[in-house]
Chains A and B, each alone.
Chain A
Amino acid sequence: MKKKLSTGDVLIKVLTPIVAVGVALILGMILIALLGKDVGVAMGDFFEGALGNPIRIGDTLSKVAPLTFTALAFAIASRCGLVNIGAEGQFYLGGIAAGLVAIYAPGLGIPGIGGAVVLLLAIIAGFIAGGFWGLIAGWLKVSFGANEVITTVMLNYVATFLNKYLIGYNGPFYDGSGNPQSEAFKVSFERGFLVDGSDMTIAIILGLLALVFYYIFFFKMKKGYEMRVVGLNSTAAEYAGIKVKSNALLAMFLAGGFGGLAGVSELLSAQSRILPDFSSNYGFDGIAVALLGQLNPLGMGLSAVLFAVLKSGGLAMGNKGTISPYIVNAIQAFVIILVVASVFIQDEYTRRKLIRQAKATKGE
């Protein structure tokens, strides 16, 4: 299905993200210097915190799974021509659903509900809850034409407040401890996967499987193909007999579901109970991961690792008090801007090449 790419095209495609990340990091350092902080110290804290020893590396890698899932939440919708900014809210819904299963399912006394089964139920519940949250925005889009960017952002805020309510002092799942929080999970993923003593769990394998699913679904299955046609040209899709609306709904459900899985993997790996604001911005990080990876499964996997390092290092700088961890958001934005803007450079490159070719043919 792919047209032959020339070496120049491939080179540009591979170089763009690398250059973008490099430039974004330099801009980040300039920003740190402008704010009167020592760049050397900041960088030291950054790398020490993200990659300082095996356990730190494991902790950093534990962030790959939620980042992969939120990236997929953006990418799946994007492939169908929708812009899902709602991964943050879907993360909350998925986390809440999975968390509740992990707290209450083991106590129900149903025979056969052991650790592994509870985890499986938690994953399913998280997927459905996140998917439902995505589906709301999808439904508002196809039935009423409501801009999904705005509705998903609004739903993010609704989800945050819903979570705060559920585990707050008046909420149904408050544990009565004096702090707004739920009871502790009775079952969670086993930590120390691959790296002893780290937060890494089997969730990273789930993230990997999700990327494989993404590849098979969009590039080997009819339904995924249909969805991509809708994304590229919905009018053409309609003429070809593809149901645009049902594809959009399915895309938002799947996107939301993966956003939910991000919440599941973070909560049942790195945390022990549902807390207010448990997401720490994963939903928005996913957008940058997806765009840097150019919606390509391999690219997204690699950029999830890169952003895990960024996130981990940023938090370390924040904890040491060198600079706010929010600096990572600024760097992320630089990356997105540079990657998106580079499309212009690629277009110019193609345009000039065509002009050159045209001139050459004329000259013959």
Chain B
Amino acid sequence: MKQKKGLIIGVIVVLALLLIGLFAPENFKNTLASFIAQDLRIALPLAIAAAGLVFGERSGVLNLGAEGMMLTGALFTWIGTAMFAGNPWLGILVGMFSSLLIALLFGFLVITLRSNQTVIGVSMNILALGLTSTIYRVVQSMEMKITGFPSLSDLLAKIPGLGDVLTNKTAIGTQLALVDIPRIGSFLDTIFSQNIMIYIGIILIIFLNFVLFKTDLGLKVRAVGEYPKACDTMGINVYKIRYGSVLFSGLLTGLAGGLLVLDIKTFVENVTAGKGFIAIAAVIFGKYTPIGALGASLVFGGAQAVQYLIQAIGLKAPSDLMNMIPYIVTIVALAGFIGKTHVPAASTKPYTKE
């Protein structure tokens, strides 16, 4: 039933886009297409982080250190990319490794030592802010050449033989061959000619949704978050599942931080600016499912992309007030939808084996 609802929403969105693409005036189409592109770009790191956090949450660990892990991943992706001559793939691996270490410390404190998850989570953020800003000031002067990930069109163009069929080389760069379709072509090109990680990310999130709800491992994760004692009796190692989930959420939040840095192509102190917390809100708003979190991230991303939309329409609004929007939308989403979701029963409760 739930999946059907998702499918229906998806079909409606696609149909609406097609109709708009075919019949709406050119101006409107351009604005909308760039809004969607911005939304996807902003939502990607949020959705990736949230998908990882879903696993932690489902296993009963509320990872409020997500912000710090994201920040750590961001700095070390930046350093790693510079170390590997601008290679974003190797750079982001360095970033993910660094956030994994923070997640390991977090996991040790809240799972093994059974410390208060909220306080430890908050301290992870303070730690990460301190460490990253201190290290950043030391390495600041390094030569940093960051290229970011290739776009879909750039990547398709490199396929031997098919490259020329799938893409067009124009004055403004490589475009998808879709662009030749009358009326709707350039509209679709703006939406689909994205950073390749967006497609990888969406596929990953769908895959994670499958793992969580259709596999044995996913069932174990969910069971441990609901009734750890029963799991223990059944021979499931609660600590192992929780460590695994926390480390995985650390990996993905680090990936998210890396994506953020590779997107804006620079690092600044506290570059995440609350995005880790917004990702946690996306987990709740998305009803603790990876795909739901993706949807929630698109809503939050849209709240930020509205700024570009307003600029595009030519409205003048103070940027400081515009900057508040994503945070306010997060608060409203959190307040408006929280009662309608089921929080894992063992959330934030440490488990003691007897």
Residues of A at the B interface (CB closer than 8 Å) are 31, 35-37, 83, 85, 140, 143-147, 149-151, 153-158, 161-162, 164-165, 168, 170-171, 284, 287-288, 291, 323-324, 326-334, 336-337, 340-341, 343-344
Contact = CB atoms under 8 A, between A and B. Distances in A.
Given A161-B321, A161-B323, A337-B123, A328 B138 contact: no
A35 B139 CA distance: 9
Contact of B138 (A36, A158, A170): A36
A351 B141 CA distance: 52
Of the listed residues B277, B318, B336, the one surrounded by the most CB atoms of chain A closer than 10 A to its CB is B277
Contact of A35 (B126, B130, B138, B323): B138
A329 B127 contact: yes
Of the listed residues B130, B137, B323, B330, the one surrounded by the most CB atoms of chain A closer than 10 A to its CB is B130
A326 B321 CA distance: 28
Nearest to B322: A161
Contact of A326 (B115, B122, B129, B334): B129
A219 to B, nearest CB: 23
Contacts of A332: 126, 130
Residues of A contacting B: mostly: helix
A171 B266 CA distance: 30
A212 B96 CA distance: 47
Contacts of B339: 144-145
B335 A144 contact: yes
A343 B17 CA distance: 56
B334 A140 contact: yes
A157 B122 contact: no
Contact of B109 (A143, A150, A340): A340
A295 B114 CA distance: 20
A336 B294 CA distance: 33
B131 to A, nearest CB: 5
Contacts of A171: 318, 320
A326 B130 contact: yes
Nearest to B328: A158
Contacts of A333: 123-124, 126-127, 130
B274 interface: yes
A153 B278 CA distance: 10
A157 B270 CA distance: 12
B56 to A, nearest CB: 15
A144 B274 contact: no
Contact of B274 (A36, A157, A331, A341): A157
B331 interface: yes
A155 B274 CA distance: 10
Residues of B contacting A: mostly: helix
A171 B318 CA distance: 8
A327 B130 contact: yes
A153 B277 contact: yes
B118 A83 contact: yes
B119 A291 contact: yes
A146 B280 CA distance: 12
A344 B124 contact: no
B321 A165 contact: yes
A74 to B, nearest CB: 10
Interface residues of B, number: 48
A76 to B, nearest CB: 16
Interface string B101-137: 0000100010001111011111110110111011111
B281 interface: yes
30 contacts: A31-B134, A140-B334, A144-B335, A146-B338, A149-B64, A149-B118, A153-B277, A154-B274, A155-B331, A157-B273, A157-B324, A158-B327, A158-B328, A168-B318, A170-B318, A171-B318, A287-B123, A287-B126, A323-B134, A330-B131, A332-B126, A332-B130, A333-B127, A336-B119, A336-B122, A336-B126, A340-B116, A340-B119, A340-B123, A341-B115
Given A36-B138, A287-B126, A326 B133 contact: yes
Given A151-B331, A287-B122, A326-B130, 18 more contacts: A83-B119, A144-B338, A146-B331, A146-B335, A147-B338, A150-B334, A155-B327, A161-B320, A164-B320, A323-B134, A324-B137, A326-B133, A326-B134, A327-B134, A329-B127, A332-B126, A333-B126, A344-B113
Contacts of A146: 331, 334-335, 338
A353 to B, nearest CB: 18
A140 B280 contact: no
Interface string B268-294: 010001100110110010000000000
A63 B154 CA distance: 55
A330 B130 contact: yes
A288 B127 CA distance: 11
Given A146-B335, A150-B277, A154-B274, A35 B134 contact: yes
Contacts of A36: 138
Contact of A162 (B122, B280, B324): B324
A19 B270 CA distance: 30
Given A35-B135, A165-B321, A154 B64 contact: no
Nearest to B269: A326
Interface in B225-246: none
Contacts of A162: 320, 324
Interface string B303-336: 0000000000000001011011001101100111
A329 B119 contact: no
B130 A147 contact: no
Contacts of A168: 318, 320
Contacts of A165: 318, 320-321
B331 A140 contact: yes
Contacts of B115: 340-341, 343-344
Contacts of B137: 323-324, 326
Given A150-B281, A344-B115, A331 B130 contact: yes
A324 B274 contact: no
Contacts of A155: 327, 331
Contacts of B327: 154-155, 157-158, 161
A53 B331 CA distance: 47
Nearest to A140: B335
B208 to A, nearest CB: 22
Of the listed residues A287, A329, A336, A343, the one surrounded by the most CB atoms of chain B closer than 10 A to its CB is A329
B193 to A, nearest CB: 32
B324 A158 contact: yes
A341 B130 contact: no
